């Protein structure tokens, strides 16, 4: 098996070395570039050229990745029923699924089934493809989840997410009426020393965390809020909303009014997605759960 890309250097690229194009534009990790160079699996206009060779807009670049380029080229994920898989977007390299609330993102131990990744493995099995984890959503969060279909795109997607070039927008029903209809929460988040499941403002080993929010509408004593993450800490939205005194409706950890079996109303709604290697922008919106339309 191999994964190949046949690319054309876009017009907006100024003349640069092959290495610069691979590293700075395509975001291929340095150790992957080393293997491509060592085994001459990067071609410019159909021939191998040194990494310092200057390429120009319109040149053709061919890349070939082999399983040996990756530490774990084939994930060990057991297929488990594709019936509940809802595809919001798919191309040759990745897909975006509308994750169901209550499903874990991925298995945590060998043989575990019932997670979103298991279901996607069953969906991809007839195509002889496998799912690769890129990022996570909390178990009780629904909505857009990016899953890779080959190992070559995983580090690129991870970097695009970490650099916030892939932008994610969430919707949440929060408790109460906000005094400020929009704002930025800049509060570091760390571990809660009293509960290993939880995070807290200025907790242990706290790291910078920034969340933007905008209230869309209110109904009764509830507010529908649009949220964008400027950083990506565990439970960031949940902790930040609770810190304002407006915890997410149904949050089992941070909303003390939550009752058993109350659904948590947090949904990963929209993605501004960038396709690895081609760097095209794709906008994806996932439908809201029925109980969001309150």
How far apart are the C-alpha atoms of 25 and 8, rounded to whole Å?
A: 12
Dig out the tokens for 68 from the structure.
Answer: 């040996």
Handedness of CA 209, 104, 267, 151 (dihedral sign): positive
How far apart are the C-alpha atoms of 274 and 282, rounded to whole Å?
A: 6
Enumerate the H helices of the chain as residue ranges. 18-20, 30-38, 116-124, 154-162, 236-243
- Of the residues 78, 138, 192, 262, only one is catalytic, namely 138
Which of 138, 183, 171 is closest to 289 using CA atoms? 171
CB 96 within 8 A of CB 90: yes
Dig out the tokens for 92 from the structure.
Answer: 């040759």
Which residue bears the tokens 């992957």?
32
The yes-or-no answer on residue 138 being catalytic is yes
Q: How many residues does the chain have?
A: 294
Which residues are tagged catalytic? 138
């Amino acid at each position: 098996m191999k994964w190949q890309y046949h690319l054309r250097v876009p017009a907006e690229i100024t003349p640069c070395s092959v290495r610069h194009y691979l590293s700075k534009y395509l975001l291929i990790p340095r150790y992957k570039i080393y293997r491509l160079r060592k085994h001459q699996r990067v071609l410019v206009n159909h021939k191998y050229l040194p990494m310092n060779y200057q390429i120009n807009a319109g040149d053709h670049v061919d890349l070939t990745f082999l399983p040996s380029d990756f530490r774990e080229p084939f994930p060990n994920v057991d297929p488990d029923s594709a019936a509940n898989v809802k595809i919001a977007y798919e191309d040759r390299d990745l897909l975006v699924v509308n994750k169901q609330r209550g499903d874990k993102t991925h298995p945590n131990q060998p043989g575990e089934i019932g997670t979103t990744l298991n279901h996607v493995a069953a969906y991809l099995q007839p195509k002889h493809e496998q799912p690769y984890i890129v990022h996570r959503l909390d178990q009780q969060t629904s909505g857009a989840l990016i899953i890779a279909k080959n190992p070559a795109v995983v580090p690129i997607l991870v970097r695009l997410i970490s650099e916030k070039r892939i932008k994610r927008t969430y919707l949440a029903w929060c408790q109460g009426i906000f005094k400020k209809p929009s704002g930025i929460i800049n509060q570091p988040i760390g571990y809660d020393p009293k509960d290993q499941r939880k995070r807290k403002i200025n907790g242990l080993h706290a790291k910078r965390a920034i969340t933007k929010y905008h209230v869309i509408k209110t109904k009764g004593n509830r507010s529908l809020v649009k949220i964008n993450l400027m950083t990506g800490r565990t439970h960031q939205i949940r902790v930040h909303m609770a810190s304002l005194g407006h915890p997410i409706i149904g949050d089992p950890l941070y909303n003390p009014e939550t009752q058993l079996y109350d659904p948590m109303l947090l949904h990963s709604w929209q993605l501004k997605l960038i396709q690895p290697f081609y760097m095209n922008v794709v906008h994806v919106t996932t439908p809201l759960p029925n109980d969001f339309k309150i």
